[in-house]
């Protein structure tokens, strides 16, 4: 009788979410698309859409029974804890050496955030609220934890679209090898793609490597105070890496901490993927706007490189500008492969890596900046 009641209570939205969850699992396993997050998200989407599922809060006999995913959501995402802890691990993984040996590449990280603000404006035209437009625009940061942080910062105002934003952010990060080459070829000539860039890295002292995360934290806190937590945790992780006296903590942050938080983050995000809320026109709009954000990020970085070339004797390969997004190290590898495809001697990896790590910094600052802008407009 109980099984029959459960079967009768299944809605078409739940069935469709099972299919979506299974699709995410397939993409993670078969296609290797961001498996560390898409797999737990896919499984979580199935879990939360089971009828009378015990993993989410349910009313039984007039009493509320708390579900484990609801508890995890309140403990780790609603208060933005999980994304911040993940940033410690990410910071510990990043080597800022290529950027420190060529600091001007930091400008490309800023230029490649162009899509965030274009998408924010477009979302407003489609009728999204300020908070929803900001959360949608941040897909252009090409940074999953930043997207989660901003989407949940506004609380109930963005609760209904946060799952779509997170799915879009990680899906398009996985599609960087497809999206970026197509955009780059449309806006560059073969002559531009063949520009050689000599790599002569300057020596970077240990003191510089140690001071860098501290200085960036101070500057970000002054320029965009709302980015303080994001930048601070990212740079703290990097300081663990560079200080030289906490190697075991650095390795733990890169491996155990990052892995555990990613598992919990992925399955907990599924709380927002309950069929009735997730399946809407807004979800389709957000997926479309997310693609626009990625396209204009790439466009902004490439065009900024072209602008510099108008005034510089040493030409920059415009493709390097596209690596200024936060999808590290994926974007830098894509640019390097494109360079080699144009000519076997066209090595762009280290230049692209410098732009790519600058995108890590720029994306979290942009996240804090857009929060500040929106809160000032409310």
Read off the pLDDT of residues 251-302 as tens digits, 9 standing for 90 and up.
Answer: 999 999 999 998 888 888 877 788 887 888 888 899 899 999 989 999 999 9
What pLDDT, on the 0 to 100 scale, is given for residue 4?
Answer: 66
Question: In a 3-state reduction of DSSP, which class is residue 63?
Answer: strand
The CA distance from 62 to 358, in Å, is 53
| pLDDT of the residue at 248 | 94
Contact 357, 328 (CB under 8 A): yes
For residues 53 and 56, give the distance between their C-alpha atoms in angstroms, rounded to a whole number: 6
Token pair in block for residue 250: 């650095």
Range of the domain at 124: 2-50+69-377
pTM (2 d.p.): 0.85
In a domain, 347, yes or no: yes
Asked whether residue 364 is domain-assigned, the answer is: yes
Inside any domain, residue 149: yes
Q: How many helices (H) and strands (E) does the chain have?
A: 22, 2
Distance of alpha carbon 169 from alpha carbon 265, whole angstroms: 14
Q: Any idea of the CA torsion for 212, 215, 217, 223, to the nearest 10 degrees? A: -130
C-alpha dihedral over 103, 108, 111, 114, to 10 degrees?
Answer: -130
Mean of the per-residue pLDDT values for the chain? 87
- Residue 61 resides in a domain: no
Does 55 reside within a domain? no
pLDDT surpasses 60 at 1: no
Q: What's the structural domain count of the chain?
A: 1
Residue 64 falls inside a structural domain: no
Query: Is 331 part of any domain?
Result: yes
Is the residue at 79 inside a domain?
Answer: yes
């Amino acid at each position: 009788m109980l099984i029959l009641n459960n079967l009768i209570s299944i809605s078409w939205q739940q069935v469709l979410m099972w299919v979506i969850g299974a699709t995410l699992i397939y993409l993670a396993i078969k296609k290797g698309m961001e498996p560390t997050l898409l797999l737990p998200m896919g499984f979580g989407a199935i879990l939360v859409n089971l009828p009378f599922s015990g993993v989410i809060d349910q009313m039984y006999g007039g009493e509320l029974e708390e579900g484990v995913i609801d508890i995890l959501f309140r403990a780790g995402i609603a208060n933005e804890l999980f994304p911040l802890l993940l940033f410690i691990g990410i910071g510990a993984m990043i080597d800022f050496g290529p950027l420190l040996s060529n600091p001007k590449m930091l400008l490309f990280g800023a230029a490649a955030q162009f899509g965030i603000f274009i998408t924010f404006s477009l979302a407003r035209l489609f009728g999204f609220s300020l908070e929803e437009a900001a959360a949608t625009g941040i897909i252009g940061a090409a940074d999953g934890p930043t997207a989660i942080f901003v989407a949940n910062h506004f609380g109930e105002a963005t609760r209904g679209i946060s799952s779509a934003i997170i799915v879009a952010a990680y899906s398009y990060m996985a599609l960087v090898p497809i999206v970026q080459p197509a955009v780059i070829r449309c806006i560059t000539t073969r002559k531009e793609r063949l520009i050689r860039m000599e790599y002569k890295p300057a020596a970077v002292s240990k003191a510089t490597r140690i001071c860098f995360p501290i200085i960036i934290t101070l500057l970000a806190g002054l320029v965009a105070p709302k980015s303080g937590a994001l930048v601070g945790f990212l740079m703290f992780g990097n300081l663990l890496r560079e200080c030289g006296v906490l190697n075991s903590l650095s390795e733990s942050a890169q491996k155990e901490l990052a892995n555990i938080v990613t598992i919990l983050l992925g399955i907990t995000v599924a709380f927002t993927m309950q069929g009735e809320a997730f399946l809407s026109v807004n979800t389709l709009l957000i997926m479309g706007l997310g693609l626009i954000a990625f396209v204009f990020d790439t466009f902004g970085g490439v065009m900024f490189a072209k602008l510099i070339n108008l005034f510089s004797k040493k030409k920059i390969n415009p493709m390097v500008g596209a690596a200024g997004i936060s999808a590290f190290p994926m974007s830098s590898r894509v640019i390097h492969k494109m360079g080699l495809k144009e000519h076997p001697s066209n090595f762009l990896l280290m230049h692209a890596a410098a732009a790519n790590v600058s995108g890590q910094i720029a994306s979290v600052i942009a996240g804090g900046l857009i929060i500040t802008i929106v809160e000032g407009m409310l």
